[in-house]
Structure 1
Amino acid sequence: MVTKVVVVVVVVVVVVVVEVVVVVVVLVVVVVAVVVVTAAAAGELVKVEVVVVVVVVVVVVVVVVVVVVVVVVVVVVVVVEI
């Protein structure tokens, strides 16, 4: 019983860490892409709306993925415990 709990905790921690890393990487990629595009545009600014939309979409996708993963983990835990 205790072993199961420990395993579950470890799995959850690993999943959370991976998700955080993914979020950071995605955000960095988005920021770099925006900077590169802005520089390449030679003075023409990228529309703020576009940047905001991209960031919002990325955040929403990441949040959905995190929620799905957490739900799956919880379901697995419940099933295993039963």
Structure 2
Amino acid sequence: MHNQKTAQCFQYSVAAAVVVIVVVVVVIVAVVVVLVVVVVVVVVVTVVLVLVVVIAAAAPEVVAAVVVVGRIVVVIAVVVVGLVVVVVMLVAAVVNTV
């Protein structure tokens, strides 16, 4: 009986360890994704601003086009960040459940 109980405890501890490892990996991936998104957004915004400054003297139509592209980029960035936040919240919920 004692050995059976010990084996059961061992199974539970292994299962808990696996869950913790999976959760840690998911959290690390989520953090990396957030950092990558932030870097990409900063780079894109910087490039767009530089283009606007360089092209501003050239033609108003081009500036208008760059502004439209900038808005699209901002919308995409907001959606991606929103998705990342949802993933992080789901991971937090799983961690709390465990």
* TM tier relative to shorter chain: 0.5 to 0.7
Contiguous gaps of at least 5 residues in structure 1: 44-53
Regions of 4+ moved over 6 Å: none
TM-score of the aligned structures, taking structure 1 as reference length: 0.64
Q: Is residue 2:17 matched to residue 1:2?
A: yes
The aligned amino acid for 2:56 is A
Greater percentage in helix: 2
* Residue among 11, 15, 18 paired with 2:33: 18
Aligned pairs (5 A) from 1:36-47: 36-42=51-57
SS in 2 for 1:42: coil
RMSD: 2.7
* Residue among 49, 71, 76 paired with 2:89: 71
TM-score of the aligned structures, taking structure 2 as reference length: 0.55
Aligned pairs (5 A) from 1:19-58: 19-42=34-57
Deviation per residue, 1:7-53 (Å, 9 max, x gap):
1000100110011001100110000000001100128xxxxxxxxxx
Distance in 2 of aligned mates of 1:42 and 1:25: 27
Distance in 2 of aligned mates of 1:3 and 1:65: 25
Matched positions, count: 68
State the identity %.
57
Larger radius of gyration: 2
Distance in 1 of aligned mates of 2:85 and 2:34: 10
